[in-house]
Amino acid sequence: MSKKIHSISCLNCSSWNKSVFCDLQSDQLENIDNHKSSDFYEKGETIFKEGGFARGLFCVKKGKIKLSKMGPSGKEQIIRFAKDGDIMGYNSMLSKSKLSSTAVALEGSIVCFVPANDFFGLIKSDPNFSLKMLELTAKNWNEASRLITDMAQKTTKQRLAEMLLWLKETFGLDEENCINVKLSREEIANLVGTATEAVIRLIGELKKEKLISLDGKRIKLLDIHGLAMLANRLE
């Protein structure tokens, strides 16, 4: 079970400046502080479940989280990730529909919960915040429409290369150029949209082609440009 922890004030949250709340005034932040709660989730713990009702918005103070959807045949599809400063659950709140994905911690994570009322209060009272939210949801769409096209048109290998680059852009690389997040082969498969075995074989191919190498379980990117070529990123 997740552990309630003493709420740290948004005013000195280390992830505040990366979040959609970065332009709020201190009185607005204090108001959120008064109503929010904070929880610590162990690796593998579920923060919320697809199909549930969103009573508010989740904001990641620290950690790495996967957001996934159950496919019709019971296979998980990872849709996006959340990390420090990212928010989750707002889409279903805004569209007044059930949560469209399940959030699971990929490592120990601290997540704050802001009640819906406070969130809608901000939207009603602060046009700049609305704009920020609109900018966020619009960016999500751009990302999503690219993903749809990729899924529909690229080969599994191209998608794998694409996803490795995406992981790099999302979580960055460590000092050894290894992707800075721990995912099982199955999770990578659920991200790429293929079978675990296929991922393993394709990782092997990428290794032979000297685009990546394996450092234990960690994936080291050797040739980012080569991966981008393979993934057929024109831009």
Partner DNA sequence: CGCGCGATTGATTCGGCTCAATAACTGTGG
Partner DNA sequence: CCACAGTTATTGAGCCGAATCAATCGCGCG
Task: Count CB neighbours of 196 within 10 A.
Answer: 14
We find the least distance from the C-beta atom of residue 86 to a second copy, in angstroms, to be 14
> 1, 6, 25, 142: which one contacts a second copy (CB under 8 A)?
142
Instruction: Report the alpha-carbon distance of residue 72 to residue 155 in Å, rounded.
Output: 22
Q: Among DNA, a second copy, none, what binds residue 117 when CB lies within 5 to 8 Å by partner kind?
A: none
Separation of alpha carbons 110 and 39, rounded Å: 6
Alpha-carbon distance of 193 to 196, in angstroms, equals: 9
Give residues 146-185 in contact with a second copy (rule: CB under 8 A).
146-149, 151-154, 158
Q: Which segment (24-32, 104-112, 126-134, 178-186) binds a second copy by CB under 8 A? A: 126-134
Q: At residue 158, what is the residue type?
A: Q
Stretches 25-33, 40-48, 96-104, 173-181: which one binds a second copy (CB under 8 A)? Answer: 96-104
Amino acid at 85: G
Q: Is 22 helix (H, G, I), strand (E, B) or coil?
A: coil
Q: Which of 94, 116, 198, 222 binds a second copy (CB under 8 A)?
A: 94
Q: What is the rounded distance in angstroms from the CA atom of residue 86 to the CA atom of residue 80?
A: 11
Binding site residues, a second copy, CB under 8 A? 69, 71-73, 75, 77, 79, 90-97, 100-101, 120, 123-125, 127, 130-131, 133-135, 137-142, 144-149, 151-154, 158, 192-193, 231-234
